Chain A
Amino acid sequence: MSRRSLFQLQISWLPSRIIRWVLGVAILILLLWRIINVTVVNAKYGADTWLRFAISGLVLGGLYALIAIGYTLVYGILFMINFAHGDVMMIGAFGGYFAFEALGAIKIPNAMDPKLTFLNAYPILSVILAFLVGMGIASLTGYYLEKIAYRPLRNAPRLVPLISAIGASIVLENAAQLLFGPQRRDNANPILLARGTGWEIPISGNTVILTYTGVLTFALSVLLMLGLYMIVQRTKFGKAMRAVAQDKKTAALMGIDVDDVISKTFLISGALAGAAGVMWGIHTGLVYFFVGFLPGIKAFTAAVLGGIGNIPGAMVGGLFLGLVESIGPAALGINFQLKDVIAFTILILVLIFRPSGILGQVLTEEKL
C-alpha cells in the first residue's frame, strides 16, 4: 500500500509539508547567498583553485559512484543496506596494495638498471594484475559475506539483516586491523603512476596538475560504470537481475534462480568496490583498515542522493557528492575539516525534502 493512496493521511501531512518546503526554499536561498558572497563578492580563490577542486571532486566522485552502485544493486534486489560494503572496498584496497608489494619485490635482471622490478618494468601489466587481485578478493569477500551473514536472514524482518551487516562490517574492519596492523600503509605505485605527477594545465597565471592517477581513476570508473550498465541492460543475466529486483517470487516462477542472481549481484558489487579500493590506494596512497568506512557511508549517501535502487542515479549522485564535497567548503567559505559534515548534511536534507532522490521513482512502502 503506497502512502499516497491514503487520502486522509495526506491532509494531516499537508501543513508539515508546507513548512518543509518553506524551510527548504529558505535554506536554498541562504546557501546561494553565502556562495555568491564568498565566490563572487569576496573572490577568495582564482580560477586555478576552482579547477583543482573540480578535478579532485570528479575523481573522488567517480570512486563514490563505483561504490554507490554496489549499494544500489544490492538494495534494488534485497532492500537492505549492505553496511559492510565500504569494508569490501577496504579489502580490495589491501588486495591491490599487496599485489603492488609482491610485484615490486620481483627483480627483473637488467644490465641498465640492476634495481629494476617487475612493477616498473611492466607498469601497465602490473596495474592490471593489481586490479584483478583487488577486484577478485573483494568480490569473493562480497560473495561469502552474502552467503554467511545475509542468506540465512533472507525472510527476516528488515532490521535483522541490517544489524547482521553492521556486525559483518565490524568483523571485516577488525580482522583487517588484527591481520595487517593499525598503521597506515603507503601504496607503492609504479614510477609511471607516481602520485602528484601529471599533465600541467596553465590557467590564469598558475598551473594546475592533472594527475595521471586521477585520470586513470576517473577513466576507469567511467568505463566500469558503462560496462555494468551494459551488463544490466543488454545481457540475459542483467535481465534476470532486473526481474529479481522487481519481484522475486514471479522471477522464480519464470525459471530464474533467484539465489544465484543474488550471489552474482554480490560478486559484481564486490568487484566494483574492489576496483574502487585499488584506485583509492593508487590515487590517495593510503591503505589501512578503516579506509573503507567513510567512503562507504558517503557512497551510500550518494546512492540515496541519486535515488536508491537506480543505477544511473548512483552514478550521478556519486559524481555530485564528490564535487560538492571538494568544492563545498571553499564555496561556502568554511573550514576544510568540515567537508564530512557537508556530505552528511546533504544526506539529511535530501531525505527530508526528496527521499526518493534526484532520479528515483517514488518508492512503494515495501521498498522504502
Chain B
Amino acid sequence: MKSTNLRYALRAGFTFAILIIFLILIAFDVTASSMIDKAMGIDMAKTGAKTPTITSLIFFLSLIGLWNGGNAGRGQERLGIKVLAGLVAGLICGLLVGVFSFGLGTLNARGIDIRVYLSALSPDSVNFLNYGRGPLVGAFLHVVLLTVSGVAGGLLTWALGQKGWRRALSSRLDNAWSAESRSSFNNRISRSPIFRYVGIVLLLTILAILPRQWGSYWNYVFGIVGIYIILGLGLNIIVGLSGQLVLGFVAFFAIGAYSFALLTAPEPHHLQWNFWVALVVAVILSALTGILLGLPLLRLRGDYLAIVTLGFGEIIRTLLRSDLMIPLTAGPRGVRDIAGPTIFGHPFNTDVDYMYLIILAVLLTIFITQRLQYARVGRAWVSIREDETVARATGVDTFKYKLIALALGAAFAGIGGVLFASKNQFTGPEDHVLMVSINVLCIIVVGGMGSIPGVILGAFTLKGLPEILRDLELYRLLAFGALLVVMMILRPSGLWPVGRPHLETEITNNPPDNSSTQQKGEPV
C-alpha cells in the first residue's frame, strides 16, 4: 500500500467522520433511524418510546460506514488494498466519532444540558447515540461498527468491481441519460402522431379523473406542485431561455397575489370584483411591473441583475410589511377573505375544483411556453443566453427580447400568485419571502434550465417530495442548498436537460465541445 493511498484513505475517513459528526449535531441520526423504523413497520408514536430502536441506528451508521469504506479504496483494483483502505478509513472515522460521542456522553452524564448551545442535542438523543449504554461503551461500539462496516465497504466495492459489470452499468446509465439519446427518443415518440394523440388523451383523462379520486391531502400537495410548475415555467423563460438571472421573482408573485387580493377581498378596499376580471388585471399588472423593472435594469448582466432583482423583491416585501402601506395593503396583517372563482354564478371553490383550475393553468402554461420556445422569440432568447454580444451583432434586438421574456415570466408569476392567494383565501407579506424565489430557482436548476419537462420534474421532486417526506421537513432547506451546489458541480444541465436541436451536421470527427455547458466535476 503506497503512502498516497494511505493518505487518501485517511483523508476520506476524516471527511466522513466530520460528516457523521455534523449529522449527529443536527440530530439527523435520530430522524433517519425513526424513518428506518417506520419503513420496518415500527411506529414510535404507538410504542411510546422516546427514541427509535437501536437496530435502526446501527443500520444507518453502517450504511454510512459502507460508503466510507467503499469510497476510501476508490481507484484501486486489488482486494488487499481495497480492504486495507476501508479498514484505515473506517478506523479513523470510528475513532473520531467515538471520541466525539464519548465527549457528548460524558457531558450528558454529568447532567449538563448541551441544548443551550447545540439545540438539536437533547439528553435522550445523546443517550440514543451511545446505544443507550453509557459513553465509554458507546464510543467503543462506534469504533467497532464503523471499522467493520468500512472493511465491509472495501470488500463490497471489490466484489462489485469484479467483471467490470459496475462500469458497464454506469456507462449504460450515462448513455441513457445523455441528452442526445433522449432527444432522439423524444423525436421518435413525437414524430408518430398516433402516439402523441393517444398520449395526450390518456393524460387528460387521468388528470380529469384523479382529483376526484385522491383525497384532499393529495389535492393540497399537487396543488402546491402545480402552482410551482407555473412559477417554474415562468422563471424558466427568464433564466432558462433568455439567460437573465432574476432573484426577485417573488416580487411579481407578490404583485399578482396582492393586486388580485385587493381587488376581490372585502377588506381594505371593498372592491369585490369578479374572480376572472381580477385575474386578468392582476396578471397584466405583474407583467407591467416586469416591464417597468426591466426598462432601466435589463442593460445589466448576470450577477448585477441577480442582486438588483433580489433587492427589488426585498423592497416589495419590506413595503408590504411596513406600517406605511396599511391603508393600501393592510400591512403586516395581510388580506383575508379573498374570493374564489365562479362559473356562471356558481361558486367553484372546493379543493377538487381548485385542482382542476390549477391543472388547467398548468396545461395552458406548458402549451404557451412550449410554443414560445420554438418560435422566433424563443430562438432569439436562446441566442441571447448563449452569447449576448454575438446575438446583438447578428441583428437580434436583445433589449426587446429580454424585456418580453421578463414581462412573460412576470405574467406567469402573477398567475401563480393569483392562484395561490385565491386558494388560501389569504395573502400576507410572509407569503412573499426570498425563499420563494430561491425555491423556484432551485426547481429550474435541478430540473434542467430551459427544459419544460425538467421544470415539471423539478417541481415534483422539490415541492412534492418534501410534502410527502414530512419527517425530513427540518432538513429540507439544508438539502436544497446542498443539492444546488452538487447539481452545479456534477450536473449543471439538470436532471432532464434540454435536447439541443441539431440543425447542422457535424463535419469534423471531434466530439462537440460541451465544455461551456457540461462541466466535468471533480470526484467528490
Contacts and interface: CB of A to CB of B under 8 A. Distances in A.
Interface string B1-30: 000000000000000000000100111000
B117 A98 contact: yes
Q: Top 7 closest A-B pairs, CB basis?
A: A167-B484, A181-B119, A170-B481, A344-B311, A171-B481, A178-B26, A164-B488
A169 interface: yes
A337 B303 contact: no
B108 to A, nearest CB: 17
A49 interface: no
Contacts of A166: 247, 438, 441, 481, 484
B519 to A, nearest CB: 5
Given A178-B26, A347-B311, 16 more contacts: A98-B117, A155-B515, A167-B488, A170-B480, A170-B484, A173-B481, A174-B481, A180-B119, A297-B307, A297-B314, A334-B324, A337-B321, A337-B322, A340-B314, A344-B314, A355-B300
Interface in B70-104: none
Interface of A: 1, 9, 20, 80-81, 98, 101, 148-149, 152-153, 155-164, 166-175, 178-183, 297, 300-301, 304, 334-335, 337-338, 340-341, 343-345, 347-348, 351-352, 355, 365, 368
A338 B488 contact: no
B303 A164 contact: no
B389 interface: yes
Nearest to B244: A159
B318 interface: yes
Contacts of B203: none
A157 B299 CA distance: 19
A297 B322 contact: no
Contacts of A300: 307
B323 interface: yes
Interface residues of B, number: 60
A148 B303 CA distance: 21
Given A180-B118, A181-B119, A365-B389, A163 B445 contact: yes
B296 A352 contact: yes
B368 interface: no
B372 interface: no
A160 B303 contact: no
Nearest to B517: A157
Nearest to A9: B392
A149 B14 CA distance: 19
Contact of A297 (B25, B117, B301, B311): B311
Given A155-B515, A166-B438, A304-B304, A148 B478 contact: no
B308 interface: yes
B302 A159 contact: yes
B347 interface: no
A80 B303 CA distance: 7
Contact of A337 (B312, B318, B445): B318
Contact of B488 (A161, A169, A301): A161
Contacts of B202: none
A150 B384 CA distance: 25
Contacts of A20: 296
B302 A162 contact: yes
A297 B310 contact: yes
B482 interface: yes
Contact of A301 (B311, B392, B474): B311
A341 B522 CA distance: 41
Contact of B308 (A80, A148, A167, A347): A347
Given A162-B306, A169-B481, A340-B318, A179 B120 contact: yes
Contacts of B243: 159
A297 B389 CA distance: 29
B485 interface: yes
A171 B478 contact: yes
B477 A174 contact: yes
Interface in B383-414: 389, 392
Contact of B26 (A101, A175, A301): A175
Contacts of A180: 117-119
A345 B318 CA distance: 12
A9 B299 CA distance: 13
B319 interface: yes
Given A175-B22, A175-B26, A81 B307 contact: yes
Contacts of A159: 239, 243, 245, 302
Contacts of B516: 156-157
Given A178-B475, A348-B297, A341 B485 contact: no
A190 B488 CA distance: 44
A337 B519 CA distance: 44
A355 B477 contact: no
A155 B521 CA distance: 11
A161 B489 CA distance: 9
B492 interface: yes
Contacts of B323: 335, 337
B483 interface: yes
A164 B245 contact: no
Contacts of B119: 179-183
Nearest to B309: A348
A341 B484 contact: no
18 contacts: A149-B489, A153-B489, A153-B492, A158-B302, A160-B488, A161-B488, A163-B441, A163-B484, A167-B481, A167-B482, A168-B485, A178-B26, A178-B27, A183-B119, A301-B307, A334-B324, A338-B324, A368-B301
B328 to A, nearest CB: 14
Contacts of B296: 20, 348, 352
A152 B324 contact: no
Nearest to B486: A167
B277 interface: no
B315 interface: yes
Contacts of B312: 344, 348
Contacts of B475: 174, 178
A351 B319 CA distance: 21
Nearest to A337: B322
Contacts of A355: 299-300, 304
Contacts of B239: 159
B117 A347 contact: no
A159 B322 CA distance: 33
B389 A1 contact: yes
Contact of A153 (B299, B300, B481, B488): B488
A331 B519 CA distance: 50
Contacts of B301: 368
Contact of B477 (A153, A170, A341, A343): A170
Nearest to B115: A181
A352 B308 CA distance: 10
